Amino acid sequence: MSKVKVLILRAPGTNCDEETAFAFQRSGAETALVHIWQLIRQEKQLKDYQVMVFPGGFTYGDDLGAGRVLANEIRLKLGEDIERFVESGYLILGICNGFQVLVKAGILPGSKIHQEMTLTTNDSSRFECRWVHLTTNTSSKCIFTKDIEFLYLPVAHGEGKVVATVATLEKLDIAIYYTDAKGNRSAGYPYNPNGSMGDIAGICDITGRIFALMPHPERHIVPNQHPRWLEGKAGNQGDGLKIFQNAVDWITKL
């Protein structure tokens, strides 16, 4: 079987595309860094890939709010293409700014182009750049977090607080939570670095195939990226790698 093909979307201000490509390549996939205008002009076709990724960064400078401009471009110019991509049974991953884009484009929490929640300014009112402990929800349908219990990953964002109505929160498929080192939720700041409702760090759609998270798994792929690897705290591989491996393995088995 040919390699899984991953499209990593780029736009002005994207800055985590190369790291994301490295993570997928290390997981056995073939990657392409594709600018949004290459899709809009049909120089590249979304249907030629099995995984679409919205990487981290500050698209369009977050000038109208984090991810808002790119979300509008996606919704108005690529909405139908993405709906067909999802209907084909393929995967979508959003990381940090990608989470903000997917939510504001209405792709998450559902697959319809309609916004049901948002991500807003951190409760600390400052940019949070720190490592966080995460615990997965074993009841989630999320393909990306399969067989993962705990994660230790960095965050780097100013607008990461998940906000939604009670009705929306009740129907969310929450894939990962912010916790303390022992896996306890509701540990407060700085364990929950942004004040997200329900300690939500990542969600997926009802199929488990569209997943987005604020922490950066692509920044913890190899052991020496762990901040205490010289103290022997790192494992055999970075915690984030399994997320990318799960995606590639799932597509391979289709």
Catalytic one among 96, 128, 142, 220? 96
Query: At CA 220, angle to CA 214 and CA 222, rounded to 5?
Result: 165
Cβ(230)–Cβ(244) under 8 Å? Answer: no
The active-site residue out of 128, 133, 157, 216 is 216
**Where do we find the tokens 């491996």?**
245
Q: Give yes or no: 218 in active site.
A: yes
211 close to 139: Cβ distance less than 8 angstroms: no
Catalytic residue among 73, 128, 159, 218: 218
- How far apart, in whole angstroms, are the C-alpha atoms of residue 151 and residue 232? 17
Rounded distance between C-alpha atoms, residue 242 and residue 101, angstroms = 23
30 is known as an active-site residue: no
**Cis ω for the linkage preceding 190 (within 30 of 0):** yes
CA distance 111 to 15: 26
Give the CA count within 13 Å in the CB-facing half-sphere of 117. Answer: 29
Q: How far is the C-alpha of 180 from the C-alpha of 141, rounded, in Å?
A: 23
Q: Does the annotation count 216 as an active-site position?
A: yes
Beta bridge partners of 30: 5
CA separation for the pair 138, 148 (Å, rounded): 9
Active site members: 96, 216, 218
